[in-house]
Amino acid sequence: MNTEKRPVELYLIHTEFLDEETVFQRKLQHVSQKRRERVLDYKIREDQKRSLAAGLLLEHILNEHGYSGEMIALEENGKLYLSGVDDFFFSLSHSGEYAACVVSDVPVGVDIQKKRETKASIAKRFFQWEEADRIAKAPERSRDDLFFRYWTGKESYLKLTGQGLGGRLDSFFVDLDEMVIVDRYNQNQEIYLKEYKCLEDYYISVACYSKEFSMFVKKIYYRI
């Protein structure tokens, strides 16, 4: 039996290869029926491209590890998982012109966000007061950076636990100094956080019960 731990691995894909309509339609046939339906549920083409790129990226990763997209199932809370597999977990996210996927042998969550202008009132409304206060007291030039570090950290944890959009961002604390998540309702678990700063103007955070994060990012390129 192989007991070697799999490091937390991050994959990225750019959506540019889906710009041409013929390519988009052809690649749409390379994902599962459920993914196709999810893609086409979006009304805006850019959203469709991001969703399709995420699906193609996941298919690539699953094939790379000896699995199939047909094994993907949906939990009641909407979290995707591999049916019949208890040592392979993944999470998807997309923003701007990128889709991201992270995999591990324990539950994991990823969030990617493209930088944009934010409002301090958002942090005051949704974050814990310590987090919002730290953002408010930061130099103006670094407030947006701090906001997105907290935001992606929180979203990655909600994806790890399966709470998704239904989870409360103020129900736990993101410790950016120790790079851990502090959740008083989940005290028996050590929750680690890692930021990947490999894309300009993008923020990527990964939350996992393992601290064995890979230092390298795998960027996937499709030939048209």
Closest Cα to residue 110, out of 32, 54, 49, 66? 54
Question: Within a domain: residue 211?
Answer: yes
For a pLDDT cut of 70, what percent of the chain falls above it?
95
Measured CA to CA, the distance from residue 211 to residue 137 in angstroms comes to 30
* Residue 28 confidence (pLDDT) above 90: yes
Confidence of residue 165 (pLDDT cuts 50, 70, 90): low
Question: Within a domain: residue 100?
Answer: yes
The count of domains in the chain is 1
Confidence of residue 185 (pLDDT cuts 50, 70, 90): confident
Residues 205 and 111: beta-carbon distance below 8 Å:
yes
Question: Within a domain: residue 3?
Answer: no
Closest Cα to residue 100, out of 23, 198, 223? 198
Measured CA to CA, the distance from residue 92 to residue 112 in angstroms comes to 9
Which residues are CB-contacts of 197 (< 8 A; sequence separation ≥ 6)?
204
pTM over 0.85? The answer is yes
* Residue 11 confidence (pLDDT) above 70: yes
Per-residue model confidence as pLDDT tens digits over 32-87:
888 999 999 999 999 999 999 999 999 999 999 999 888 998 887 778 899 999 99
Question: Within a domain: residue 40?
Answer: yes
What is residue 1's predicted lDDT score, i.e. its pLDDT?
A: 39
CATH label of the domain that carries residue 26:
3.90.470.20
Question: Within a domain: residue 177?
Answer: yes
Confidence of residue 2 (pLDDT cuts 50, 70, 90): very low
Question: Within a domain: residue 166?
Answer: yes
> For the chain, where are the alpha helices, taking DSSP H only?
21-28, 33-41, 45-64, 120-126, 129-137, 140-161
Measured CA to CA, the distance from residue 54 to residue 161 in angstroms comes to 20
Per-residue model confidence as pLDDT tens digits over 127-146:
999 999 999 999 988 999 99
Measured CA to CA, the distance from residue 5 to residue 208 in angstroms comes to 13
Question: Within a domain: residue 1?
Answer: no
Domain residues for 73?
Answer: 8-220
Give me the amino acid identity at 57. Answer: L
Measured CA to CA, the distance from residue 64 to residue 87 in angstroms comes to 15
User: Chain-wide mean pLDDT for the chain?
Assistant: 91
